[in-house]
Amino acid sequence: MTSLQTSPPTPVADAALAASARGLTRTYGRGDTLVSALRGVDLDLPTGRFTAIMGPSGSGKSTLMHCLAGLDQPTGGTVSVAGQPLESLDDDALTRFRRDHVGFVFQAFNLLPMLTAEQNIWLPTELAGRPRADHRGRFDHIVATLGLTDRLTHRPAELSGGQQQRVAIARALLTAPAIVFADEPTGNLDSTSSAEVLSFLRGSVRELGQTVVMVTHEVDAAGYADDVVVLADGQVTHHLHDPSRADLVAALAGRSA
Ligand code: ADP
């Protein structure tokens, strides 16, 4: 069996599409309690864009993100990330693929409390057995851009919520994954910290060519994105490119602008 610690990065086949889904369905339960969380989603997310996934509570946003990220298995349909069909990977290969090509930012930051900011940022790279030297330049750039240079020796409890989320973003971006999934990344932040985090995510797309997919229910947060996917009742109702706020509000209200 291949060790997760030492295996080289799994290759990716296609850089043009960061993620795509065809006929994606996900049901939970059965019989009387059957819930169709996703009902035939077709979606292409190009590389180098910042996409927000929006929709009412229960519309399937989290389920879609988890299926695209290989954290949840769809009931039907296909998902590819960077050209790699996820259904063709067994559990070990999927874990390695996520480790090598997918970054995550969560609402609750998910930092390890006993490690410093710097140790938290390096952790996934070290778990993958990668030499720090390969990533040192990017580390310095990301840490400086996120304003974390003076905070590297602090533990999460000694950092504000906004600083903790910036550490989590630095951790997600360090290995330049094919795609970063951010699940309500500003859900626990005040408006100033939210604006900082969203500006940085947008900047990582513009300046580092990062692909970011963010689930959010906040129109203001989605305003930082290039594209917005609107879900209703498990289906994509709109896929808007550079929408105006009016277009976005109309789409969320179930109208065309
Ligand atoms: P959103 O993120 O837009 O709020 P979700 O993807 O969490 O929506 O949920 C979509 C639907 O699937 C909802 O009806 C929800 O109750 C249902 N659902 C989600 N996860 C589960 C689960 N583990 N078991 C049963 N139903 C679930």
- CB of 104 closer than 8 Å to CB of 52: no
Q: pLDDT confidence of 129, banded at 50, 70, 90?
A: confident
Gap from CA of 238 to ligand 1 centroid (Å)? 20
Gap from CA of 103 to ligand 1 centroid (Å)? 22
Closest residue to atom 11 of ligand 1, CA basis: 37
Q: Is 167 in the pocket of ligand 1 (CB under 6 A)?
A: no
Gap from CA of 67 to ligand 1 centroid (Å)? 12
The CA distance from 33 to 11, in Å, is 40
Write out pLDDT tens, residues 33-69.
999 999 999 999 999 999 999 999 999 999 999 999 9
- CB of 205 closer than 8 Å to CB of 45: no
pLDDT at 4: 43
Of 214 and 208, the one with more pLDDT: 214
pLDDT reading at 10 higher than 90 = no
pLDDT at 6: 45
Measuring CA to CA, which residue among 240, 244, 246 is closest to residue 227? 240
Write out pLDDT tens, residues 82-93.
999 999 999 999
> Which of 62, 71, 215 has the most ligand 1 atoms within 8 A of CB, as the residue to mutate?
62
Q: Is 216 in the pocket of ligand 1 (CB under 6 A)?
A: no
How much of the chain, in percent, has pLDDT values that exceed 90?
82
Q: Is 186 in the pocket of ligand 1 (CB under 6 A)?
A: no
- CB of 193 closer than 8 Å to CB of 162: yes
- CB of 148 closer than 8 Å to CB of 166: yes
Q: Is 204 in the pocket of ligand 1 (CB under 6 A)?
A: no
- CB of 76 closer than 8 Å to CB of 24: yes
Residue range 17-252 in CATH 3.60.10.10: no
> Which of 63, 213, 230 has the most ligand 1 atoms within 8 A of CB, as the residue to mutate?
63
What is the bridge-based pairing of β-strands 17-28 and 179-183? unpaired
How much of the chain, in percent, has pLDDT values that exceed 70?
93
Domain spans of the chain, in order of start: 17-252
Q: pLDDT confidence of 128, banded at 50, 70, 90?
A: confident
pLDDT at 49: 96
The CA distance from 228 to 242, in Å, is 8
Of 117 and 10, the one with more pLDDT: 117
Q: Is 162 in the pocket of ligand 1 (CB under 6 A)?
A: no
DSSP letter for 145, please. H
Instruction: Report the nearest atom of ligand 1 relative to the CA of 38.
Output: 10
The CA distance from 229 to 21, in Å, is 13
Q: pLDDT confidence of 5, banded at 50, 70, 90?
A: very low
Gap from CA of 244 to ligand 1 centroid (Å)? 29
pLDDT reading at 179 higher than 80 = yes
pLDDT at 41: 98
Q: pLDDT confidence of 3, banded at 50, 70, 90?
A: very low
pLDDT reading at 131 higher than 60 = yes
pLDDT at 34: 93
pLDDT at 13: 57
Closest residue to atom 13 of ligand 1, CA basis: 58
